């Protein structure tokens, strides 16, 4: 009887099972979708995963978005209000610090504190003070200063460890960084005769960044020696704009007095934040 009934109702059973499978699939799909609600105003809704892509709209705080895909920190989303699809910087959309997003907010900035671990870098004239110590302290102050801008900051190191030279560009390349800044302190055989700060770049796409940063450092207590090109591996093996800053001569005792001061490191951080805010404002399209 059962077999006969199954055979006579086979088509209906197949249709019913198909509908059930479809419904269950839709329910699972809806449950598994990730929804975010924008916190700041002025979140840019772009046509690609990066600040260089065209801005389609500026989203207000409280805009509901369904996440479709993720790519190096950028999320492809569908707007709940009009079903349009675009990309947002996830750290901007989710920020609880920002009230209104700015051009720098969408930027991914890599900070590279030179040396570390067994690589001490340059030493003071008495051998007591190590370059690696002050590059890390300076980079941490820069990170803290950039926090209020909403920018995504990535450190190549955040402890006393060595990062092989060829690995320094990896975080920036992996995360499609918009800028990389390497921190160093100079040393010279001339001893006390050599003094001041310098800014270096290698690729043409880094020249403007170097110049904007250099201008912001003219108010430092040490003489600004200006911008020049150099084939340092940290800035040569990169595709993103990358610069290297020499923030004083560590084996010059007069320079060292400043290098060791937290106030000097914080001044660098403040000036860099101003420079980067200007730099990204100049080359970021926003609605």
- For the stretch 123-141, pLDDT in tens is 999 999 999 999 999 999 9
Identify the pLDDT of residue 140: 98
pLDDT surpassing 90 at residue 25: no
Domain 34-98 has CATH 2.30.30.40: yes
CATH architecture of the domain 104-282 equals: 3-Layer(aba) Sandwich (3.40)
Distances (CA, A) of 258 to 45, 66, 152, 155, 220: 44, 50, 29, 24, 10
Q: Kindly state the percentage of the chain with pLDDT values over 70.
A: 88
**For residues 181 and 155, what is the distance between their CA atoms, to the nearest angstrom?**
10
| pTM value > 0.85 | yes
pLDDT surpassing 70 at residue 3: no
Q: What is the mean pLDDT of the chain?
A: 91
Q: Kindly state the percentage of the chain with pLDDT values over 90.
A: 86
Q: Is the dihedral of CA 177, 179, 181, 182 positive or negative?
A: positive
Which residues, including other chains, have CB under 8 Å from residue 22's CB and lie 6 or more apart? none
Region 17-26: mean pLDDT is 43
- 3-state SS, residue 224: strand
Condensed to tens digits (0 to 9), the pLDDT of residues 217-245 reads 999 999 999 999 999 999 999 999 999 99
Q: How confident is the model at residue 193 (pLDDT cuts 50, 70, 90)?
A: confident
């Amino acid at each position: 009887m059962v077999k006969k009934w199954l055979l006579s109702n086979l088509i209906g059973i197949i249709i019913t099972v198909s509908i059930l499978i479809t419904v269950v699939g839709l329910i699972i799909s809806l449950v598994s979708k990730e929804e975010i609600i924008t916190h700041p105003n002025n979140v840019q809704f772009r046509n690609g995963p990066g600040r260089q892509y065209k801005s389609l709209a500026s989203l207000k705080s409280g805009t509901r978005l369904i996440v479709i895909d993720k790519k190096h920190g950028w999320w492809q989303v569908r707007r709940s209000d009009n079903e349009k699809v675009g990309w947002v910087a996830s750290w901007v959309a989710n920020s609880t610090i920002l009230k209104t997003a700015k051009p720098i907010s969408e930027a991914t900035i890599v900070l590279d504190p030179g040396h570390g671990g067994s690589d001490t870098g340059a030493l003071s004239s008495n051998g007591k003070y190590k370059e690696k110590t002050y590059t890390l302290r300076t980079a941490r102050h820069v990170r803290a200063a950039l926090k209020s801008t909403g920018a995504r900051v990535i450190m190549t190191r955040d402890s006393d460890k060595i990062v092989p030279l060829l690995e320094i560009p990896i975080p920036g390349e992996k995360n499609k960084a918009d800028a990389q800044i390497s921190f160093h302190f100079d040393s010279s055989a001339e001893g006390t005769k050599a003094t001041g700060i310098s800014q270096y770049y290698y690729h043409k796409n880094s020249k403007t960044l170097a110049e904007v940063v250099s201008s912001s450092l003219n108010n430092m207590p040490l003489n600004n020696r200006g911008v020049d090109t150099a084939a340092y591996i940290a800035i040569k093996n990169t595709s993103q704009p990358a610069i290297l800053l020499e923030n004083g001569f560590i084996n010059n005792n007069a320079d060292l007095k400043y290098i060791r001061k937290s106030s000097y490191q914080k001044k660098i951080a403040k000036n860099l934040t101003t420079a980067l805010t200007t730099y990204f404002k100049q080359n970021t399209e926003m609605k």
